[in-house]
């Protein structure tokens, strides 16, 4: 594999006594997009939430093993620091309803009490919105509430908010499942643009979407890694029977 | 076929009848309120003038005012709010955020219990706690009694307003690396602000009319009082004392004071309605 930024080693995740992820060993390539596919309940969202230590926020959650971000174990790092380096976009767009668009983009700094010069925050807001392909649509309404935007725009605002923190990795947890086809295709375009400058990991239910946006694909089943490889290879010549059956719609 | 049409007609009549009945009952329920307002305005309006609002009570036979009671009510509520709001806010956050915790569940149930404690009992307790040790009826003891009455209402409104804040918002904040306490203060509280403020105002307007807890605490005072360790007058106390007096001009003043109290409470209610709409968070 190419230059990897994230390594998962002998990793287990639990809810109370239930084992959700079993002995996961993976490497994620830097500045590439990776999709995590699998049927409901296979642990894909849990895996994603372990990468920015959001999993442990649920009561009864625990983990075993190591996740190394640029060689450093995130489970021995402060979770706040990990989450600033690993941005996350959720299933349902969740801009802060009490903030305007500008403040939403800069929210990561504001909420953390990081003081920025006006010119600097202006620059971060503009850059992030341009990257999220939203700048042209909102530049005249920066001081309006973020919740007045359409669903797709709200989701891109959330992407801009995550990008503003300049993370190493961006996690998308079924980020298009609440959006209409047009907005979905816009987000997919965006992922394809972004993946040259940031590592993206996408959890999706949509097999075609994984094919369209990702360089690598991981197929998870019952908390185990079944198959992991280049998207082009995994989709055309799956090695495992279960992968093939899932991709062809026999289950899942 | 004919049967179906008949049944349909019958149903339409039943619908109309039902609508009429709930309408009539709703209006009937408002009647007592209108009567109360009517009597208070009719009897109270005559008593109210500038002199009434700005001067101190005078002995029977001379026309006095109720300025000390108006100021006393504001003092009592102000100090009660200073005590109750922070306590209740933190408690409300605690029982929402640690819902699964046994202690939080206990606190929540005890809050309901506190809401059911008769106000006169709260007055007696404050008498034992504060009036007896300090050997004097006081503004402080009255304010503490009112604060205790305000607590459950603010705690519950904080709890319910925070529960309406979607979990996804909390996650959005945490995922940006925001520490937990800042997430609560900067994301969740602002999103719940309209509900919490409404609860605070309603609790204020609720205790503004309380008499019983003040009988053994604030006690009443014919003079203006600004010190925390001296007895103080309040509108409901004054109404209670004047209305039960044998003097017709004091009884008249009690009507006037009732009208003033109702106006104060109505203003608070209007403000709370306004805030509920104006600051409501839409997701």
Residue B162 lies in a domain: yes
| Residue B272 domain-assigned (yes or no) | yes
Q: In this structure, what CATH number is given to the domain that contains residue B243? A: 1.10.3720.10
| Rounded distance between C-alpha atoms, residue B87 and residue B79, angstroms | 13
Nearest Cα residue to B266 out of B202, B212, B210, B196: B202
- Helix and strand numbers (H, E) in chain A are 11, 10
pLDDT digits (tens, 9 = 90+) for B180-225: 999 999 999 999 999 999 999 999 999 999 999 999 999 999 999 9
* B62 within domain boundaries: yes
Tens of pLDDT, residues A76-103: 999 999 999 999 999 999 999 999 999 9
Confidence of residue B63 (pLDDT cuts 50, 70, 90): confident
Is residue B7 one of the residues assigned to a domain?
Answer: no
In sequence order, what are the beta bridge partners of A201?
Answer: A34, A171
Given a cut of 90, whether residue B78 has pLDDT beyond it is: yes
pLDDT at residue A251, as a whole number: 78
CATH class of this structure's domain A4-247: alpha beta
The domain in which residue B159 lies consists of 50-278
Place of tokens 């849990």: A46
Answer yes or no: is B97 within a domain.
yes
Residue B25 placed within a domain: no
pLDDT band for A21, please (50, 70, 90 cuts). very high
Strand, coil or helix: B102: helix
* Partner residue facing B177 (CB), from A83, A94, A147: A83
Note the ipTM here.
0.92
Residue B23, domain member (yes or no): no
Output phi, psi for A58, to 5 deg. -75, 140
So where are chain A's domains?
A: 4-247
pLDDT at A252 over 80: no
Q: How far apart are CA A68 and CA A5, in angstroms?
A: 8
Q: Mutation test of the interface with chain A: which of B101, B102, B175, B189, choosing the one with the most A Cβ atoms within 10 A?
A: B175
Classify residue B33: in a domain, yes or no.
no
Closest CA of chain A from B266, distance in Å: 29
Among A59, A83, A98, select the one facing B175 at the smallest CB separation.
A83
Amino acid A1: pLDDT: 56
Q: How far apart are CA B72 and CA B208, in angstroms?
A: 11
For residue B1, the model assigns a pLDDT of 64
The total number of structural domains that make up chain B: 1
* pTM to 2 decimal places: 0.86
């Amino acid at each position: 594999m190419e230059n990897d930024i994230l390594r998962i080693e002998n990793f287990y995740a639990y809810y109370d006594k239930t084992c959700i992820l079993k002995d996961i060993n993976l490497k994620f390539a830097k500045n590439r997009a990776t999709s995590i596919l699998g049927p409901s309940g296979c642990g894909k969202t849990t895996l994603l939430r372990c990468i920015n230590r959001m999993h442990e926020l649920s009561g009864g959650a625990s983990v075993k093993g190591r996740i190394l971000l640029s060689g450093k174990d995130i489970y021995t790092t402060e979770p706040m620091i990990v989450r600033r380096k690993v941005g996350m976009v959720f299933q349902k767009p969740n801009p802060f309803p009490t903030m305007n668009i500008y403040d939403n983009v800069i929210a990561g700094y504001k909420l953390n009490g990081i003081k920025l010069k006006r010119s600097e925050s202006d620059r971060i807001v503009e850059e992030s919105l341009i990257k999220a392909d939203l700048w042209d649509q909102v530049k005249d309404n920066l001081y309006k509430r973020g919740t007045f935007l359409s669903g797709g725009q709200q989701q891109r605002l959330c992407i801009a908010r995550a990008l503003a923190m300049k993370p190493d990795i961006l996690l998308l947890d079924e980020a298009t499942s609440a959006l209409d086809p047009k907005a979905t295709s816009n987000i997919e375009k965006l992922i394809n643009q972004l993946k040259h400058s940031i590592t993206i990991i996408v959890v999706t239910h949509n097999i075609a979407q994984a094919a369209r946006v990702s360089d690598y694909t991981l197929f998870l089943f019952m908390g185990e890694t079944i198959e992991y490889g280049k998207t082009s290879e995994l989709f055309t010549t799956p090695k495992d029977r279960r992968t093939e059956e899932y991709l062809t719609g026999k289950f899942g | 076929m004919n049967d179906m049409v008949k049944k349909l007609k019958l149903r339409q009549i039943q619908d109309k009848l039902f609508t009429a009945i709930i309408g009539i009952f709703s209006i009937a329920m408002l009647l007592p309120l209108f009567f109360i307002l009517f009597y208070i305005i009719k009897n109270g309006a005559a008593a109210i003038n500038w002199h009434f609002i700005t001067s101190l009570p005078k002995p029977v036979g001379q026309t006095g005012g109720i300025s000390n009671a108006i100021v006393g009510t504001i003092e009592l509520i102000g100090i009660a709010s200073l005590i109750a709001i922070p306590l209740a806010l933190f408690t409300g956050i605690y029982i929402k955020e640690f819902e699964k915790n046994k202690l939080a569940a206990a606190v929540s149930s005890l809050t309901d219990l506190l809401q059911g404690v008769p106000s006169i009992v709260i007055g007696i307790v404050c008498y034992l706690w504060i009036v007896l040790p300090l050997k004097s009826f006081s503004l402080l003891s009255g304010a503490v009694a009112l604060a205790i009455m305000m607590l459950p209402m603010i705690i519950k409104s904080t709890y319910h307003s925070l529960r309406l804040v979607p979990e996804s918002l909390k996650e959005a904040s945490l995922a940006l690396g925001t520490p937990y306490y800042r997430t609560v203060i900067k994301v969740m509280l602002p999103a719940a602000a309209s509900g919490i403020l409404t609860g605070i105002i309603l609790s204020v307007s609720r205790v503004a009319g309380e008499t019983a807890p003040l009988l053994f605490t604030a006690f009443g005072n014919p003079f203006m009082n600004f010190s925390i360790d001296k007895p103080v007058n309040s509108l409901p106390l004054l109404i209670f004392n004047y209305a039960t007096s044998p003097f017709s001009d004091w009884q008249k003043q009690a009507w006037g004071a009732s009208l003033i109290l109702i106006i104060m409470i109505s203003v608070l209610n209007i403000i709370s309605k306004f805030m509920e709409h104006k600051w409501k968070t839409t997701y």
